[in-house]
Amino acid sequence: MKLPKFKNRKFFEQAFIHRSYLNETKEKLSSNERLEFLGDSVLSFVVSQHLHENYPKFDEGTLTNLRSLLVNTRTLAEVAKELNFGDLLKLSKGEEESKGRENISLLANCFEAFVGALFLDQGVTKVSDFLKDVLLSKTEMLLAQKVLKDPKSLLQEKIQAKKQISPSYKVLGEEGPAHRKVFTVGVYVEKSLLGKGTGKSKQEAEKNSAREALLKLRESG
């Protein structure tokens, strides 16, 4: 899919500048962090509006769960990969060597920054049109997968039905500065790792690890 054309090219370019790149260039540039901050709010608003208008029979809790599935780190990173955002990122040599272009948190943050940049350049209607094509089109697929129920609760039900024990969650890693932490969490049954997930909070990372575990359980039958 072709990306929207920007009226102000500087907004587009800034969306792909990771903060690490600023240490290795003499250009007077700004990172994409402020755009990411803006894009996070714009994204939440547009997704919320879309769900409210198109799913009138869903209650508040169901809408909230569906929105969380659409805007979580894993989903946004997948969309960013589909749009080849990794190829456009400007990174330091260190981030490059550590496979920053494939890092799901960097990709998700970049997607949010792109949304923020598009909003500043052309407003919320253009953002809405863009998101309908690349993100909101995934809503029906998520509904078909029947993953609206809280994944941690669903995983616990499945595990307890088989083994009469509860899964446990463990933080496997933390990255980034204090105000922009990214957590990696593993979900275990006894000592076996069932799934891993990342997120901007421990709660999001736990939910994503539970989702991965549920997918693995489905695949294994």
Residues recognised as catalytic: 40, 112
| Residue 41, both tokens | 């709010």
**DSSP line for 94-133:** HHHHTTGGG-HHHHHHHHHHHHHHHHHHH-HHHHHHHHHH
CA 115 – CA 131 distance, rounded (Å): 9
CA 171 – CA 63 distance, rounded (Å): 28
Cα torsion at 206, 209, 215, 221 (round to 10°)? Answer: -90
| Residue 211, both tokens | 């989702």
| Residue 86, both tokens | 């990794």
Residues 219 and 196: beta-carbon distance below 8 Å = no
Fill in the DSSP letter of residue 90: B
Q: Which residues contact 66 (CB under 8 A, 6 or more apart)?
A: 51, 55, 58, 139, 142, 143, 148
